[in-house]
Amino acid sequence: MSSDNPTADRLVSDARKKSASGQSPVLAGIGIALAVAGAIALVLIGDATTGATAGWITGALAAALGATSVKKGAAVKLAKVALVLGVIVILVATFVFCYAQANY
């Protein structure tokens, strides 16, 4: 900003700090937790169709929460991790489902 009006510069910088501190990485953290839960569900659930469905649902939720966090600008690296993990869980769930269908 210009130094013509130092009061306005101070107010703008304070508003930016306040806005940045209000963004919480909670959504991204929940997305990562959902992606991990989806991966665990794929391994622990014996039925491939049920496991794949759980993986698709949790992966989609994790990807959506990651994308929302990226748009909000809160903890961008953490949000991108949630987004990528969600997509990976969806892909693995699709592989598990297709593999199970091919073997029946």
What's the number of CA atoms in the CB half-sphere (13 Å) around residue 55? 26
Distance, in Å, from the CA atom of 98 to the CA atom of 85, rounded to the nearest integer, reads 20
In tens, the pLDDT along 2-33 reads: 567 788 788 788 777 666 555 667 878 888 88
Task: State the pTM of this model.
Answer: 0.72
Residue 101 pLDDT greater than 70, yes or no: yes
Q: Where are the domains of the chain?
A: 25-103
Residue linked to tokens 């869980």: 89
